[in-house]
Amino acid sequence: MEIRPLTLLADDERMFYDAVLDYARHEIGPHVSAMDHAGQFRKELLPGLFGLGVMGIEIPETYGGSGSSFFNACLAVEAFAVVDPSVSVLVDVQNTLCINAVMRWGNDEQKKRYLPRLAREWVGAYALSEPSSGSDAFALRTRAEKRGDKWVINGGKLWITNGAEASVFIVLANADFEKGYRGITAFLVERGFSGFTVGKKEDKLGIRASSTCELVFEDCEVPAANVLGEVGIGYKIAIETLNEGRIGIGAQMVGLAQGAFDAAMKYMLERQQFGKPIADFQGMQFQYAQLAADIEAARLLVYNAARLREAGRPFLKEAAIAKLFASQVAERTASQCVEFFGGVGFTKEFPAEKFYRDAKIGKIYEGTSNMQLGTIAKLLQSEYKTRG
């Protein structure tokens, strides 16, 4: 029982979404509960994801990628989230953060070295957050020092998605603290680099199969050729990449909401009380009809932001609105679906409680809801001042 998104989708986009969703149901679905219980992604599932082409959606075919679009990347994130938001965020970070950054800011040699690997075998991670820098992202303390033909990085990162699986990390460090945020520089750090260690994996409430790890840099040596972009423009790379990443998280939250809703509707049509399916009671109908409207509204906001980004038009406000609203809808939908299941919704035998746990992170990562509201408010002020 499901409602597949048809709004604003061309035939090829709808076919792509359907193909990813079918793959997720058959290949990921049987492992979801066990991965959640273990708090670990099964790495044997990675070759299938690469084979499907969803780990390099925007990478040009000349580099071994799918040569597709940002919009399709968002569709893939949405489709996987219907089945498992943990796998969805793995795909999301790979495409909307890591690959996006390398394609936009990498030089020819970096693209030749990293894009084929990211398309075929390597998972990527995006390392910005630190103990002292969450919402205040540019308060990071990780230091990069130039020594000859190498950079040496010291410090640590926290809450890094894909940390356990990644082979390459986009690491933000400050190369000149006297310049403040204008000293921040992005580096391509490979797992095997000397002085680099992936540390503790967090034991989380939700999206438990998605690894969230600590990174430790102790005189980590990085070739000078691995500076992404230029020295001192890491802040710009971070801002622009995360702006686009918000759309991906919005897509994840839409898929999560749809997955919870699909499961609840199936149950309500089968579960009978007082001689009829509980879905027939008006009190239930009004509730799930409202949720359906909310999910579709969130989907349209995400699709609109993705279309704007793809068209090269301003999308910052739309991305913030999409991420804000989709995360609210996901949490509300997942919570209500637990109640639709009644007592069994509170057990791990049914999927509602997992969607409920998974939903909470949507209001936190890649910019909290308050940060989205602040962004929206600033842009509104600017727009209205411009209008006079």
pLDDT in tens, 260-283: 999 999 999 999 999 999 999 999
SS3 170: strand
pLDDT at 7: 62
111-129: pLDDT as tens digits = 999 999 999 999 999 999 9
- Please indicate, yes or no, whether residues 188 and 245 belong to a single structural domain of this protein: no
- Please indicate, yes or no, whether residues 246 and 177 belong to a single structural domain of this protein: no
Q: Is 366 tagged catalytic? A: yes
- Please indicate, yes or no, whether residues 112 and 18 belong to a single structural domain of this protein: yes
- Please indicate, yes or no, whether residues 62 and 31 belong to a single structural domain of this protein: yes
pLDDT beyond 50 at 326:
yes
86 in any annotated domain:
yes
Q: Identify the CATH number of the domain in which residue 253 sits.
A: 1.20.140.10
pLDDT at 57: 98
2 in any annotated domain:
no
pLDDT at 138: 82
CB atoms within 10 A of CB 62: 11
Q: Identify the CATH number of the domain in which residue 183 sits.
A: 2.40.110.10
Confidence of residue 167 (pLDDT cuts 50, 70, 90): very high
The one-letter amino acid at 54: V
Average pLDDT over residues 125-142: 90
Confidence of residue 217 (pLDDT cuts 50, 70, 90): very high
pLDDT beyond 90 at 190:
yes
323 in any annotated domain:
yes
- Please indicate, yes or no, whether residues 376 and 297 belong to a single structural domain of this protein: yes
| End position of a domain, from candidates 168, 199, 232 | 232
Active site residue: 61, 353, 366, 383, which one?
366
- Please indicate, yes or no, whether residues 280 and 268 belong to a single structural domain of this protein: yes
Distance, CA of 55 to chain centre: 13
- Please indicate, yes or no, whether residues 281 and 382 belong to a single structural domain of this protein: yes
Q: Which residue has the higher pLDDT, 4 or 357?
A: 357
Average pLDDT over residues 117-144: 93
4 in any annotated domain:
no
Question: Cα separation of 234 and 103, whole Å?
Answer: 15
Output the CA–CA distances (angstroms, integers) from residue 202 to 198, 206, 377, in the order listed.
Answer: 12, 11, 33
Beta strands in the chain (DSSP E): 123-127, 143-147, 150-161, 166-174, 184-190, 196-201, 212-223, 227-228, 272-273, 276-277
| End position of a domain, from candidates 196, 213, 232 | 232
5 in any annotated domain:
no
Question: Cα separation of 81 and 325, whole Å?
Answer: 17
| β-strands 143-147, 150-161 pairing | antiparallel
CA-based angle 321:161:372, to the nearest 5?
A: 15
Question: Cα separation of 269 and 258, whole Å?
Answer: 16
SS3 373: helix
Domain, as residue range, for 368: 236-387
- Please indicate, yes or no, whether residues 293 and 365 belong to a single structural domain of this protein: yes
pLDDT beyond 70 at 4:
no
- Please indicate, yes or no, whether residues 309 and 374 belong to a single structural domain of this protein: yes
Both tokens of 158, joined, read 């926290």
- Please indicate, yes or no, whether residues 278 and 208 belong to a single structural domain of this protein: no
- Please indicate, yes or no, whether residues 248 and 382 belong to a single structural domain of this protein: yes
pLDDT beyond 80 at 3:
no
Average pLDDT over residues 74-103: 98
| End position of a domain, from candidates 68, 103, 123 | 123
183 in any annotated domain:
yes
Domains of the chain: total? 3
Q: Which residue has the higher pLDDT, 136 or 87?
A: 87
Looking at every residue in the chain, the average pLDDT score rounds to 96
Question: Cα separation of 256 and 141, whole Å?
Answer: 34
pLDDT at 1: 45
1 in any annotated domain:
no
Q: Phi first, then psi: give them for residue 307, nearest 5 degrees.
A: -65, -40
322 in any annotated domain:
yes
197-211: pLDDT as tens digits = 999 999 999 999 999
- Please indicate, yes or no, whether residues 140 and 211 belong to a single structural domain of this protein: yes
b/e burial code for range 262-280 (CB count within 10 A of at least 16 → b):
bbbbebbeeeeeeeeebbe
Nearest to 172 by CA among 189, 195, 197: 189
Question: Cα separation of 270 and 264, whole Å?
Answer: 10
Average pLDDT over residues 102-111: 98
User: What's the per-residue H, E or C state across 285-296?
Assistant: HHHHHHHHHHHH
With left for phi above 0 and alpha for psi between -120 and 50, is residue 184 left, alpha or beta? beta
